[in-house]
Amino acid sequence: MPKPIILAVDDDTSVLEAVVQDLRRHYGQQYRILRAASGKAALDTAEQLKERGEQVALFLSDQRMPGMTGVELLENVIPLYPDAKRALLTAYADTEAAIRAINSAKIHYYLNKPWDPPEEKLYPVLDDLLEAWQQGYKPAFEGLRVIGTRWSPQDHATRDFLGRNHVQYQWLNLEQHPEAAKLLEEHKLDAKNLPVVCFGNGDVLVQPSQLELAQKIGLRTQAEQQFYDLVVIGAGPAGLAAGVYGASEGLRTLIVEPEAPGGQAGSSSRIENYLGFPQGLSGEELAKRATLQANRLGAEFLTQRATCVRSENNYHIITMADGNEVSCHVCLVATGVSYCKLAVPGADRFTGAGVYYGASMSEAISCANEEVYIVGGANSAGQSAMHFSNYAASVRMLVRGGGLEKSMSKYLIDQIASRPNITVETQTEIVGFDGDGHLECITVKTPKGEEKRSTSSVFIFIGAAPKTDWLPSTVLTDARGFILAGPDLPSDLRAKLKIDRDPFLLESSVPGIFVAGDVRHGSVKRCASAVGEGSIAVQFVHQYLANLSR
């Protein structure tokens, strides 16, 4: 984006050169410094800049100039740039005239020539003026825009993907922003085919797939190599930790993630019990820091979905959704869990159009001044309730049990109790959803009976379903699909596999396929424990590789 402009004006070329040099030395990194040798030339320049849509932050003009004085120039630029700061350069003899001009021409300040040294007599004055201008300056948005409607599941998915990958964008709701219709008309696009993603360079994607978006915003969708020492499937806290430790210890490490780093924890608005962060931090910030750390240490990230893994001669081959394959010595499964679907009439119909699974931070601002419902009583539900209470008029937590104490950390229970716009309803559950095109009301079952309530936003945090349906049957799981590892595996596995050792602590039933984090049977569903498992798993990876080389 073009820098804002400082325009210096003086008919004495030697003085003008000195002014420009002083300005560039102190302000050249933040502002573009332009010059004009007369009031008329400066006014012509200002008009041209206005036509091009460029911003002028400061006019700095000499007073005594033939044809048009500095005061006259500064008066004439007010209609063009009413918010720009205006400063007059005067000789000592012009001081009284300058003071009068402050009132008549709305000049913000005057400076006496010469001003040496500028560090004492020029920069402090201009710093104050420019700081005041910056406070009211709103640069034109030139980045990525998403045109859609609030109740479109695909629009929601697009915005959620961009947000979780830390891509800044402007959302233009077709029903509320006239600019949205104008952009569609400029690109000759049909409003029926939404969402539309407009890029700053003029490119447009219509109803893009997640893979198309990933490629366009610069995420890697093809692996750099065909073989790695360690391939980590999933970039939640466990996967990111494994990536950091694997790469830092010299393993060629690939982290495969179909959506965005952070996993379920990445959508947590505030994690306050994570060691070393007394003020807490968001899941997004934790994921961002871990991703940068893994990248810096040499781990490679791949935006793809793993669809299957097969083992051949002590190697593991992972197939991606696009059909490409990578092979490795060790595969670490850290796919985490997803929230269980609510088996209630209408839930599937309104998913993405008023019914959301997980925090869905992209919807928070849309819920301003509305009543929001949170279903669930664990930490993730509590963190979401706290986050949405900053936007919504009221937040109602629906909990099937008799209270929050069994499933939620005490610090969260205390915070929820302190928020006047959060209400916790126990022994209460949703039994129906209804609406026309999007969610408009829910049927709630309470100890007093059933009742209908109006709402357009319900966020669901119930249960945990492991993401393991893509794994082969040789990777043993429990009845719910969580992966068995180490001591949880059958005692006769060693004999069945005809291997001369017991499985390592986090090793699955297939030698060389490890597991870490929430997807493991018996894991502690906490962010810090997932990070610990991902870190520890790398130590067992080294032991496994050492056994292979014998």
pLDDT in tens, 80-128: 999 899 998 887 666 676 676 666 667 888 888 777 788 888 899 899 8
Fold for 355-460, please state it. FAD/NAD(P)-binding domain (3.50.50)
Rounded to 5°, the CA angle 387-388-391 comes to 115
Fold for 227-338+465-548, please state it. FAD/NAD(P)-binding domain (3.50.50)
Cα separation values, 183 from 190, 191, 197, 202, 285, Å? 11, 10, 10, 11, 33
CA–CA gap between residue 395 and residue 411 (Å, rounded): 18
Maximum CA pair distance of the chain? 102
Residue that is written with structure tokens 């539309």 in the block: 196
Q: Return residue ranges of the chain for CATH 3.40.30.10.
A: 144-216
Q: Return residue ranges of the chain for CATH 3.40.50.2300.
A: 5-136
Q: Which two tokens stand for residue 91?
A: 């000789």
185: exposed, middle or buried (Cβ count in 10 Å: 0-12, 13-18, 19+) = exposed
CA–CA gap between residue 550 and residue 547 (Å, rounded): 5
pLDDT tens digits in sequence order for the chain, 550 residues long: 578 999 999 999 998 999 999 999 999 999 999 999 999 999 999 999 998 888 999 999 998 899 998 888 998 999 999 989 999 888 766 667 667 666 666 788 888 877 778 888 889 989 989 988 987 776 666 678 999 998 899 998 999 899 888 888 889 999 888 889 999 998 999 999 999 999 988 899 999 999 999 999 989 999 999 999 999 999 999 999 999 999 999 999 999 999 999 887 777 777 888 888 887 888 888 998 999 999 999 999 999 999 999 999 999 999 999 999 999 999 999 999 988 889 899 999 999 999 998 866 667 778 888 999 999 999 889 989 998 998 999 999 999 999 999 889 999 999 999 999 999 999 999 999 999 999 999 999 999 999 999 999 999 999 888 999 999 999 999 999 999 999 999 988 888 887 888 899 999 999 999 999 999 999 988 899 999 999 999 999 999 999 887 7
Q: Return residue ranges of the chain for CATH 3.50.50.60.
A: 227-338+465-548, 355-460
- Kindly report the pTM of this predicted structure: 0.74
Closest Cα partner for 373 from 417, 414, 407, 422? Answer: 422
Closest Cα partner for 326 from 222, 455, 480, 441? Answer: 222
CA–CA gap between residue 167 and residue 388 (Å, rounded): 21
Closest Cα partner for 454 from 370, 391, 344? Answer: 370
Q: Give the model confidence (pLDDT) of 360-385 as tens digits.
A: 666 777 888 899 999 999 988 998 99
Going by CATH, does the domain composed of 144-216 fall within 3.30.2350.10?
no
- For 70-216, where are the E strands, in sequence order? 85-90, 109-112, 144-148, 169-173, 196-198, 204-206
Rounded to 5°, the CA angle 117-122-126 comes to 160
Cα separation values, 510 from 486, 498, 502, 514, Å? 11, 12, 11, 8
Cβ 367 vs Cβ 394: under 8 Å: no
The CATH number given to 5-136 is 3.40.50.2300
> How many residues belong to the chain?
550
Cβ 349 vs Cβ 532: under 8 Å: no
CA–CA gap between residue 12 and residue 10 (Å, rounded): 5
355: alpha, beta or left, given left = phi > 0 and alpha = psi -120 to 50? beta
Cβ 11 vs Cβ 44: under 8 Å: no
248: exposed, middle or buried (Cβ count in 10 Å: 0-12, 13-18, 19+) = middle
